[in-house]
Structure formats: structure tokens, C-alpha cells
Amino acid sequence: MINVDLKNAQIKIEDLLKYQDQVTTIHQKLEANIANEDEFCGWIDMPLRYERDLDYQASWQKMNTLALKLQEEVDILLVIGIGGSYLGSRAAIEMVQGLYNQKAPVKVIYCGNTLSSTYVSQLLEYLTDKEFAINVISKSGTTTEPAIAFRLFYDLMVNIQKKAKDVVRNRIIVTTDKETGILHQLAKDKGYQTFVVPNDIGGRYSVLTPVGIFPMLVAGLDVERVMIGAQKAYQECKNDKILANPAYKYAVSRYYLYQERNKSVEILATYETQLQMFAEWWKQLFGESEGKENKGLFPASVLFTTDLHSLGQFIQEGSKIFFETVITLKEPTLDVNIPKFENDEDQLNYLTKYSLNEINYKACQATIAAHSGYQFGNVPNIILEWEKIDSEMFGFAAYFFMRACAMSASLLQVNPFNQPGVEVYKKNMFELLGKNK
């Protein structure tokens, strides 16, 4: 479902094949680590695990029942979480449903991902007269941003809206660790419904667990198809051979451009507005997994053609510290015909033989030629050809990029599954806030 095209990337097959031994060794290690909970490789066989593991089956059943109930009772689901605890579900919901979908049974809104008092105040006001449920998601159960948001929106539901106790119990759903953490204890004490973030899966690799799946279900996504897509990706990406595994072909290509061609920034370019949050999820995945020990590609993103009128200038003629990874699409979710005007007053009749998507595709081809052409931009372009955008594609793409990320971080010899650097700001902030140890 994703074809990795290197025609415009200034990469030869031999450039990739010289990493084959390293890739095989890393691949074998990742596969062997699935069995060891402390290695955080549980996401690797998650597409199969959810069907064969009885605990997961029970959890899926519970998620389905609860999602259907919420769809009948509330208009809004407030997802409270930060980083890997919200980006995956948001990426999936916006990618599959688009941004102005009128048919979604429940609107999903996000909080706990910011300390902006203006954003939070406006959201509190917006929700005051609305029927909403809360899914608070935190693996550690101690992250400050979601913890503050949960207190504020709990206060709204309980003390301002004055919802009855049983209503509150039904409308607060907690996704957290199975056994530990403040949130886990709180959910237990108050009798909230809970879902578990598996011990062996870290935040940014958790989109195919209840962390991502429950909000998708409430929003009305076909999550069975998400998992079918992930299973297809699992099958296509379980080969250790670079040329037979599209995720590894992409991973090694970006590693080659970083290592051998001095490219220190990767720009993910998309032409679909509904992929903007997917790009945010991708940035977190690669940024937190690779940026360690003074190594790693800085993951950036652009939305074309929008950003051709801003960053396009820099990409075409600015300093060449980057390469582009461009997502192209065979079939859009929806298309629009350009109407013909009899007197052609705006002189656009020449476009009426194309649909809007066909014009977008021409812009994409023109841009790839302008940016990558040797005599023009001379920016390597890795093209990822996607067939379509739907639930299955989301599952495939999410799994594809997680596999690629684990491989490329391992090639850099950094741990793809920790994020020690994130703690530094927290320590400083807690000192400034006078938090008790």
C-alpha cells in the first residue's frame, strides 16, 4: 500500500545494500526483543496480538460497547493527553474523516496537550453547555499537562454542570498503566471505566492500542479495518531484506542521506490537509526516537501547495541541509469538478477538463521536478506513493513508519524507545513551581 520510489532521491540501490548486514542484525534483535517486556517492542506484533490474545479481545469488546453507548449519549469526546497519548488518535481521525465531516457521530476535541490558559479557558467555556465525555490518557499517569486539564474538566462536569455521580462514572474513561500511577489509583477509587496501555509499548508506538483505538471508535472509525491495514504492513515489513521491505527501504534511504550526504533535516511533504496531524504524529515518532546523543535527523513537515507560498522559496533556493519525503496519493477521499463559465470571466475554463485532485497532482509533479531537479533545487526527494486514504491506509502507514523509525534509530545506534531528554524541562519546571519531591 506504500511504494517507496527513489528515482528523485539521488540514491542508488548499491548505496542501500551496503547496510544489509547491519539491517539484518538490528531486525533480528528487534524481533527477539518482542518477548522481553523491558525492551518496549510489544508494538511489533500488536497487529496479530490483538486477535490472538484473550485479554485484548475482552478489551476490544469493552471498547466497542462503551463507544456505542457514548455515541448515543454525548456530542463531544474530550481526549486529554499529550505526545503519544493523543497524536495517534488525532492523526487517524483527521486523516480518515477529514476536517469538516458532518457524518461523524461524535466530535473529538483535544486538551491536556498545552498549558495555554487562553486555549483552556475558551474550551471550558465552549463545553459548558455541551454533553461531553472525557477520555484521559496517560501511561505514566503523572504527566503535568493532562493532569491539570483533567482536574479542570472534571471540575466543569462535576461542580459546574453538576452531573449526577453515575453519569460522571459513565462519562470518564481512563487509559493508563495496568497497575501503577496516580491516574490508575484514582480510576480504581472512583470506579471509572479503564483501558490499559500495555507495559511493553511506549507512548509514541501506542496508536494501535486502546490509547489510539478508543477515541477512533467513539469518532466512528472502522477500527477493524485499521487493524487489517496494520496486519498487511506487518506482513510486508517482516522481511529483513532492504529491497523486499518498504519500511526498511525508506529507513535506510533516510539514514544514507543523513550519514553520507550530510542532510540533517527531513521534510515530510503532503498535499492533503487531512494529513497535517499525521505529519505531527510522524514528527513526534521520529523526533523523540532519534534525537539523542547529538545525533538524528530533525523531522519537519510542510503542507503543499499551501507552504509552496511560504517555505517553498527556502526549499527551492535556501541552504541545502534537508531532503524531502513526499507522500503522493493515487486516489483522494473526495474530488471536485471545476464548473465551466460561459463567458470565462476569470479565465479558468482551460482547467475544466481537470478535477481539483488532478490539478493538485500536477502541482505535485511540478514541485517534485522543481525541487529535486539537478539544475533546479537539487533536493533529494523520496516519494512514498500511497494508494488512498482510509482506515486501512492509516493502519498500514502507522505500522510502516513505526517499523521504519525503529530501524533508522537503531542504525544511528540510539535507543528508539526512550526519551531521556524530555525530563530536563520537567525538572526545571517543577523546581520553579516548588513541587514537593
| Residues designated catalytic | 288, 309, 426
What angle (nearest 5°) sits at the alpha carbon of residue 37, between those of residues 32 and 39? 60
Q: Which stretch binds ligand PA5 (CB under 6 A): 140-148, 239-247, 253-261, 403-411?
A: 140-148
| All cell numbers assigned to 255 | 539514514
State the nearest-atom distance from the C-beta of 428 to ligand PA5, in Å. Answer: 16
**Per rule CB under 6 A, is residue 246 in the interface with ligand PA5?**
no
**In the complex with ligand PA5, which residue's Cβ is closer, 177 or 387?**
177
Among 20, 22, 140, 349, binds ligand PA5 (CB under 6 A): 140
Which residue's CB is nearer to ligand PA5, number 63 or number 368? 63
Spatial separation of the C-alpha atoms in residues 356 and 137, rounded to whole Å: 39
Number of chain residues interacting with ligand PA5 (CB under 6 A): 14
Interaction of residue 85 with ligand PA5, rule CB under 6 A: yes
Closest approach, Cβ 425 to ligand PA5, in A, equals: 11
Q: Is 434 helix (H, G, I), strand (E, B) or coil?
A: coil
DSSP string for residues in 292-349: -TT--PEEEEEETTGGGGTTHHHHHHS---EEEEEEEESS-SS--BPPPPTT-TTS-G
324, 306 contact by CB (below 8 A) = no
- All three cell numbers of 102: 458532518
Binding mask 39-78 for ligand PA5 (x = CB under 6 A): ----------------------------------------
Position 138 contacts ligand PA5 (CB under 6 A): yes
Which range of residues in 21-29, 155-163, 197-205, 351-359 is near ligand PA5 by CB under 6 A? Answer: 197-205
Coil, strand or helix at 366: helix
Min dist CB 86 to ligand PA5, Å, is 8
Asked if 82 interacts with ligand PA5 (CB under 6 A), we say yes
**Single residue of 203, 212, 291, 395 touching ligand PA5 by CB under 6 A:** 203
Give least dist CB 328 to ligand PA5, A: 28
Q: Would you say 161 or 415 has its CB closer to ligand PA5? A: 415
- Residue 288 interacts with ligand PA5 (CB under 6 A)? yes
Amino acid at 338: I
Sort residue 143 into left (φ over 0), alpha (ψ -120 to 50) or beta. beta
Q: How far is the CB of 82 from ligand PA5 (least distance, A)?
A: 5
What is the smallest separation between the CB atom of 284 and ligand PA5, expressed in angstroms? 6
From 30, 60, 96, 139, residue interacting with ligand PA5 (rule: CB under 6 A): 139
Q: Which of residues 376-405 bind ligand PA5 (CB under 6 A)?
A: none
Of 139 and 249, nearer to ligand PA5 (C-beta) is 139
Which residue of 83, 88, 215, 299 would you call a contact of ligand PA5, by CB under 6 A? 83
User: What phi-psi label fits residue 379: left (phi over 0), alpha (psi between -120 and 50 degrees) or beta?
Assistant: beta
Is residue 419 at the binding interface for ligand PA5, with CB under 6 A as the rule?
A: yes
Cell of residue 234, nine digits: 506487518
202 is a contact residue toward ligand PA5 (CB under 6 A): yes
Q: Which residues of 222-258 are buried (b: 16+ CB within 10 A; e: fewer)?
A: ebebbbbbbbbbbebbeebebeebbbbbbbbbbbbbb
Least separation in angstroms between residue 136's CB and ligand PA5 is 9
89 exposed, middle or buried (CB, 10 Å; 0-12, 13-18, 19+)?
buried
**Orientation angle between helical segments 276-290 and 87-97, nearest 10 degrees:** 150
| Nearest-angstrom CA–CA distance, 81 and 135 | 9
C-alpha dist (Å) from residue 46 to 49, 236, 366, 406: 5, 15, 39, 15
Shortest Cβ 175–ligand PA5 spacing (Å): 9
| Separation of alpha carbons 349 and 417, rounded Å | 53
113 belongs to the binding site for ligand PA5 (CB under 6 A): no
Q: Applying CB under 6 A, which residues contact ligand PA5?
A: 82-85, 138-140, 143, 146, 202-204, 288, 419
